[in-house]
Structure 1
Amino acid sequence: MFYQLLTCLQILTLRTVNPFFMDFFVGLDIGTSSVKALALGPSGEALGVRKKPYPVQTDPSGRHEEDPETIVQATLSVLRTLLDDLAGPGSPGRHLASPDAPARRPVCIALSAAMHGLIALDEEGRPLTPLITWADTRAAAEAAAFKGTPAARDIYRLTGTPIHPMSPLIKLRWLRTARPDLFAKAATFVSIKEYLWFRLFGVFEVDRSIASATGLFDTQAGRWYPPALEAAGITPDRLSKPVPVTHQRSCTLPGLEVPFVIGAGDGCLANLGSGVIAPGEASVTIGTSGAVRVVTNRWQPDPEERLFQYWLSEGMFVRGGASNNGGNVLDWFAGIANWGGAATPGQAAPAATGPGQAARPETSALDQALDEAFALPKESEGLLFLPYLYGERAPIWDAAARGAFIGLRSYHKSPHLLRAVTEGIGYALYDTFRLLDAEAPIHTVYASGGFTQNEAWVQQLADTFGKTVRLTDEADASATGAVFLGMLATGALSKLSDVKRHILEGKTYAPRPERHAYHQRYYTLYRELYPALSKTFHQL
């Protein structure tokens, strides 16, 4: 109760009612390395965005943890900053209202959050562990031992979550063995969004989207799956109550009620925020990691357990696969090339200076190196790259997988290696894309993430996939998707398909048949690498 009262008071003092400002919606995206707050007007126009990073603790054991309280305070900070900016003298909406206009307010604050995280809490709701993120691989041996068993196959079939160290199901099995005292002491196990929700409202509730990514949730039935709970060694009373993604609660100031909409998982909301929800459309994201996703109304577990399927909204599922390896691989390569600075294309840009103001990109050393790599007349000249530097999720789901250059010769220089890296990242995503395309033909790919800053790389993706690629104008897709759910919850949208009218599409890239044929040849060779090297990887 103390937590609830304290945090509600903090939230409610975030802003002063400003009579010179339009109603707006806030999407709050709690990511793996930072939290972002985005404000959109009622027509979907961007009014401001604020972001705050937080540290990650890692070590060679595979640990990847964060402090839950640091994340809560960062979240409150970005809300305070954004709402204060919008209410201040430089407010973009000040000119829209006369001095005697009625007071305006946020219509709602809707949440997005990274999936697969786990925090153990005591009976008072205090953390017993840090947030163990999706990237933590300490449960790899537990995943390998459980995967392929009849119980594991049944759990995947009902939950849609592949057996992998990222899964809270596997994290719980690992904690039960590695820390039996802590496991027994824990009263509740939650994600970071559930922890924030508890701090705000004093109740344990989880949206069905986050729940569907735990490996513990019967995604079709919308409830916890007893055989999965038994496999994890827990009972339902140690988990939050599942609720719809439009579920609301409110903190209250005199004369002002601000609903909070619980929202969904960040991957699912990225599709919604990009408007990629119709048949024949797929989203491809390359940021720190990568992902390929489609939206479907059918529950269709993959017989070979290569794809995930998570809940977006009633009758809507997000199906696809995520890769551990994207811009982080470029970070690694930039480091060994001693380029320094930001690695992901376009990340050398300074932060925006005010609400709605875009940063002006600057050229980084990596941008220059990419230009040189994509200018090579013969691509990577017979060089292949297996990009599994951080293990891999879809479609192989092997935390022990490793990276490798194949075909190195003395004439290969740094640009050849970098070109092979970009090709390998694309081939890894194409592994998942072709599975989805075989199930239901895809005609258009919507691309987002840092890699879209480089036109040659986007063109290479179109050539690799053999599909038309369109850029989305939603740099903050997950936060935007949260806003759209907030609009649905508060009646501003009548149905989710209406988000299409709020989406601005960017440049279109058509595949070049001769380059697609080239990449098909090299992709065929690429596909042979992991099966040939897997045994060696597991022995290293």
Structure 2
Amino acid sequence: MKNKLMIGVDIGTTSTKAVLYDVKGTVKASANKGYPLYQEIPDMAEQDPDEIFETVIDVLTEVIRLSGEEKELISGVAFSSAMHSLILLDDQNQLLTRCLTWADNRSYKQADNLKDSAEGLAIYHRTGTPIHPMSPLSKMLWLKETQPDLYAQTAHFIGIKEYVFFKLFNQFKVDISIASATGLFNNQTLSWDNKILEKLGLHEDQLSELVDTTEQIRGLNKSYAEVIGLPETVPFVIGASDGCLSNLGVNAIDGKTLALTIGTSGAVRMVTDKPVTDVKGRTFCYALTRDKWVVGGPVNNGGIVFRWVRDQLFAPEKITAEQMQVDSYEILTQIAEKIPAGSEGLLFHPYLGGERAPLWDANAKGSFIGLTTRHTRAHMVRSSLEGIVFNLYSVMLILEELVGRPEKIQATGGFARSALWRQLLADIFEQEVTIPESYESSCLGAAVIGMKSLGLIADLTEVDKMVGVTKKHIPNEDNYGIYRELFPIFIRSSRLLQEEFSAISAFQRKHGSHE
């Protein structure tokens, strides 16, 4: 077994990655390729399913090419995927739509109406998926109401991973992890929810067959097998969602460890042995396996906020960095480090793209609070970073109510490369923060669940031997005292502003300035 290899593939929001691992979790080869997001009208966030499928083929082909002579040792391929996507197919299995991603907000009216009803909270408690435009449930209600002819001719409602597997194997299957994030799946019965199907006017055969996250599928399409360079008999393990697999990939599955991820967006998650929901509907609950459930809160606004700060407030520095071939983000963090903790009383609400947890308000907007003449761009960049972490901390406090205070924090994502980000997490969360060696935690999580399915490891807990530790950050007592003072102001002011989010969003949509 020790020479066997496994490929973990993560179909993400901005790119797809493939990483080849041995059974010790050592990276042998990797490939990564991006694709565009289409935002042609307000609130749209779509991708081309065929562009994504071609990217999956490309990264698999590349990682197998890089494996060289070790190609013969590859035991299988296992998948992670972004949640909440929706694709409509006709009765000839042809595309009726592009892929509506989690970030598509066009169903905000339908989501608001359902969320404000008693039925909405009941659906949340059965499904574990908060009522929000991100979920396929809201998107389907929107399509049913606004495009009834298109809705009526739809034979299959699927997500992006299902589309990839259909193209590869000509089968419609979905793992219970991705299914549990649709708003259509009953977490108690582990089946499609009959009441919701009735509400949507659907038959169960319009949805994919439900399978465990360790399900193996064989019989790879011959033409794709030849292109990729794998035999048709190689098993593909269907895997789970990116968030759940990220917990596995950082060894945060013991019920005591918090996994915190900041990429383009972000999330805070813990694992329980049964489904857990929040009385106020503020958290999600998705399956990793039948007996491991991931409870947490996703935030829309992670690294995308930092990118906005760079592009809009520090455009000259970005150009200079590009000319000098240095990392523009590193320049920004160096500028922010010169500003004291708390940014001298400047607070930033990072809701540039609406917000999921903890507000669950698609109309949420960003704001600086406390600006004075003494504040500079440097204050604004540090404040924006602090605002992102304040928001994540507020989600952690909700989780603490539900499943208890975590004993450890494992943090991952692109931000983990920055010492300032890591220290901000430790100071605001007032806990030691550990950065695992593997940045691609969802790929590793997929590979581990694939290894378990194929018998290469005995148990998922063997991931403990694969996750190295590169950095630990201890809270700075002087800093967390300051953050204790500011955090309540951050919370109160964001709630006060929430009363006006709908009004300003309506104004922006009316006058064409809303994205």
TM-score normalised to structure 1 length: 0.88
Cα–Cα, structure 1 residues 256 and 191, in superposed 2: closer, same or farther, change >3 Å? closer
Q: Does 1:175 align with 2:139?
A: no
CA distance in 1, matches of 2:318, 2:471: 25
Equivalent position to 1:52, from 17, 33, 45: 33
Q: Residue type matched to 1:388 in 2?
A: Y
- Once the two structures are TM-superposed, the CA of residue 76 in structure 1 deviates from its matched residue by 0.6
CA distance in 1, matches of 2:381, 2:477: 23
CA distance in 1, matches of 2:261, 2:232: 38
CA distance in 1, matches of 2:347, 2:314: 22
Equivalent position to 2:309, from 325, 333, 339: 333
Unaligned runs of 5+ in 2: 223-229, 505-515
| 1:195-274 alignment runs, 5 A limit | 195-251=163-219, 257-274=233-250
CA distance in 2, matches of 1:488, 1:76: 24
- Once the two structures are TM-superposed, the CA of residue 315 in structure 1 deviates from its matched residue by 0.6
Secondary structure, counterpart of 2:252 in structure 1: coil
CA distance in 1, matches of 2:309, 2:429: 24
Equivalent position to 1:393, from 353, 356, 369: 356
Q: Percent identity over the alignment?
A: 38
Q: Does 1:487 align with 2:455?
A: no
Corresponding residue of 1:86? 67
Secondary structure, counterpart of 1:467 in structure 2: coil
Equivalent position to 1:364, from 304, 327, 337: 327
- Once the two structures are TM-superposed, the CA of residue 537 in structure 1 deviates from its matched residue by 1.4
Cα–Cα, structure 1 residues 72 and 341, in superposed 2: closer, same or farther, change >3 Å? farther
Corresponding residue of 1:440? 404
CA distance in 1, matches of 2:51, 2:273: 38
Q: CA RMSD in A?
A: 2.0
Query: What's the CA shift string for 1:81-101, capped at 9, x where partnerless?
Result: 1111212xxx6x5xxxxxxxx
Query: What's the CA shift string for 1:274-328, capped at 9, x where partnerless?
Result: 1111122101111111110111113221000000000001210011001000110
The structure with the largest helix share of the pair is 2
Query: What's the CA shift string for 1:437-491, capped at 9, x where partnerless?
Result: 2331212111111222221221111110011100011111111100001001000
Corresponding residue of 2:226? none
Corresponding residue of 1:291? 267
2:342·2:483 contact (CA, 8 Å) conserved in 1?
Answer: no
- Once the two structures are TM-superposed, the CA of residue 256 in structure 1 deviates from its matched residue by 6.8
1:468·1:510 contact (CA, 8 Å) conserved in 2?
Answer: yes
1:67·1:130 contact (CA, 8 Å) conserved in 2?
Answer: yes
Equivalent position to 2:114, from 142, 146, 153: 146
Q: Residue type matched to 1:432 in 2?
A: V
1:443·1:468 contact (CA, 8 Å) conserved in 2?
Answer: no
CA distance in 2, matches of 1:202, 1:378: 55
Worse overlay, 502-511 or 387-396 = 502-511
| 1:403-482 alignment runs, 5 A limit | 403-438=366-401, 439-482=403-446
CA distance in 2, matches of 1:293, 1:306: 13
Secondary structure, counterpart of 2:95 in structure 1: coil
Q: Does 1:517 align with 2:485?
A: no
Worse overlay, 481-490 or 272-281 = 272-281
Corresponding residue of 1:530? 494
1:331·1:342 contact (CA, 8 Å) conserved in 2?
Answer: no
Cα–Cα, structure 1 residues 529 and 496, in superposed 2: closer, same or farther, change >3 Å? same
Q: Residue type matched to 2:170 in 1?
A: G
CA distance in 2, matches of 1:386, 1:338: 19
Q: Does 1:42 align with 2:23?
A: yes
Q: Residue type matched to 2:34 in 1?
A: P
Equivalent position to 1:498, from 459, 462, 468: 462
Q: Does 1:321 align with 2:297?
A: yes
CA distance in 2, matches of 1:528, 1:342: 34
Cα–Cα, structure 1 residues 483 and 83, in superposed 2: closer, same or farther, change >3 Å? same
Unaligned runs of 5+ in 1: 1-20, 94-102, 349-360
Worse overlay, 449-458 or 304-313 = 449-458
Secondary structure, counterpart of 2:121 in structure 1: helix
CA distance in 2, matches of 1:69, 1:130: 9
1:426·1:464 contact (CA, 8 Å) conserved in 2?
Answer: yes
CA distance in 2, matches of 1:255, 1:388: 47
- Once the two structures are TM-superposed, the CA of residue 24 in structure 1 deviates from its matched residue by 1.1
TM-score normalised to structure 2 length: 0.92
Q: Residue type matched to 2:93 in 1?
A: G
Corresponding residue of 2:507? none
1:56·1:66 contact (CA, 8 Å) conserved in 2?
Answer: yes
Secondary structure, counterpart of 2:279 in structure 1: coil
Equivalent position to 2:156, from 142, 164, 188: 188
1:23·1:104 contact (CA, 8 Å) conserved in 2?
Answer: no
Query: What's the CA shift string for 1:220-245, capped at 9, x where partnerless?
Result: 32100111222333221110010000
- Once the two structures are TM-superposed, the CA of residue 255 in structure 1 deviates from its matched residue by 7.8
Query: What's the CA shift string for 1:201-253, capped at 9, x where partnerless?
Result: 11111000000000000123210011122233322111001000011111368
Corresponding residue of 1:125? 93
